[in-house]
Amino acid sequence: MNENEIELELEQDIAELEDLSEQPSREQARRVLIEDDRRISVARARLEYLFDDGTFDEIGSEVVHRCDRFGLEKRRIPGDGVITACGEIDGRPVFAFAQDRTVLGGSLGEEHAMKIVRLQDLALRSGAPLVAINDSGGARIQEGVASLGGYGEIFRRNVAASGVIPQISLIAGPCAGGAVYSPALTDFVGMVEGSSFMFLTGPKVVKTVTFEDVTVEELGGAQTHSQKTGVSQFMWPDDRSALDDVRRLLSYLPSNNQHMPPYAKPEDSRDRMDASFHDLVPTDTRKPYDVRGVIERLVDMGSFFEVHAGWARNVVVGFARMDGHVVGLVANQPEVLAGVLDIDASRKAARFIRTCNAFHIPIISLVDVPGFLPGTHQEHGAVIDHGAKLLYAYCEATVPKLSVILRKAYGGAYIVMSSKHVGGDINLAWPNAEIAVMGAAGAVEVLNRREIAAAEDPLAKIDELKKDYEDAFLNPSIAAQRGFLDAVIEPHETRRKLCRFLRYVLEKRERLPPKRHGNMPT
């Protein structure tokens, strides 16, 4: 199959997706009436709902395409299939665009692209977040290379704005080909279940080239990208939920990298104690528990906002507030795979840490990790490189970094998870925490193999040696005596201690050696 045939197949896939994209859930966000009783587009309704009431101001509403071939000379619709606008969210300036699938399938032509580019430039110059509501069939074939060039201009600005202003992409419909790369370059991506899709090549092309039978949902639906690939950090049931969460997400982010995250006066005492930690977290390091329960009891009540909830569930990440200050939480999840680090968990946590670091958000790590997941699948999948990404992210981060070892921290995973050795500012541990190269059972098997074999009662000997090892190596006081821990604290006082230490290091300033950029592992 030649390239032209593949492009034709892809065009057919996109046409079919346009029929699939009309779901009742999308209608929930539609404002069907305006003052003069005319119907308004879904794209406009999305922006009206996103912004604070009365703050929506459109930019470039009269722009039309310049193509005079293939019948387009008779279809010059003002706006050219994308609404670009500025407005306010919680009183702060925000720029946003929404592609309109009812106009030439939301396809991206030269002027369509230039409208987005001009908005990107304005957002960057103004130091304000940019929200992209993507609902496009891809490049406008009738405009040829001009449409492809438009994508390139958008991508370049996505990269220029990365780490400078927050960029959020809401996938509200089918996006294929070049349309998926701009979202992938932004800070956060979210999809609407049942109505949004992302893929480079559609099911027909996949079938033709690889002989695989796959549905659009299996290939690039919201569940696929939020649970299997990790491309999407959020999955929503409908547009209204999506836009509500975009507004909430922005409440944790500064307008740009020169500002601090928004402070919210707490209604929760920073000195609140919680005795339930003793029951919530089993002392037996082999027993699972849901670390979300720990997080929710630590942070300001009701403030935890999880990110990437459906993917790599052996680590939990998200935003919250501590004494009114925004923080990023990174926590091992003993409920899933015993909380081990693996390829996906490392990628997920590293990405989140770098996002926090870009926008002055302190990082709190809750550590309960037995190590990295062993096996050929992990090793052949380059767990070394992916684990190094997490290590790199913690070492690179210059924001305040606090950690609490809840139960165990073994081996290389101990080092990686915001230890003092990789730049942790405040490192705490609960009294029963175990910090060592490995657990006692594994250690005595390695260190005392001959002694165990010669014993009259090997099992009793193992128990004896395990007790000796635990006393000598696993007690957190050993690490504290070496300065690797700043304090051993009781579980019930964790919130109070974290709030107090956070206050002390909140204004921390740290500079890395001058360089163009680091060379992060692949």
List 149, 230, 293, 412, catalytic entry: 412
C-alpha to C-alpha distances, 293 to 161, 327, 331, 421, 436, nearest whole angstrom: 36, 17, 11, 28, 26
Could you report how far apart the first and last alpha carbons of the chain are, in Å?
32
| Cα 224–chain centre separation | 15
What span, in angstroms and rounded, lies between the C-alpha atoms of 430 and 439?
17
Q: Are 124 and 165 in contact (CB under 8 A)?
A: yes
Burial bucket for residue 463 (CB in 10 Å: 0-12, 13-18, 19+): middle
If DSSP codes are grouped into helix, strand and coil, which group holds residue 504? Answer: helix
Identify the active-site residue in 81, 173, 177, 439.
177
- Respond yes or no: is residue 178 known to be catalytic: yes
Sequence-distant (≥ 6) Cβ neighbours of residue 475 within 8 angstroms: none
Residues 6+ apart with CB under 8 A from 339: 291, 314, 315, 332, 333, 368, 369, 370
From 106, 178, 190, 318, the catalytic residue: 178
Indicate if 310 belongs to the active site: no
Could you confirm whether 442 is annotated as catalytic? no
Tokens 């496009």, residue located: 136
- Is 177 one of the catalytic residues? yes
Contact 50, 89 (CB under 8 A): yes
Residue in the block written with tokens 């070496």:
482
Q: Which residues, in sequence order, are CB contacts of 53 under 8 Å at separation 6+?
A: none
Query: Contact at 8 Å (CB) between 381 and 507?
Result: no
Query: Which residue is catalytic, options 349, 393, 397, 413?
Result: 413
Active site residues: 177-178, 412-413
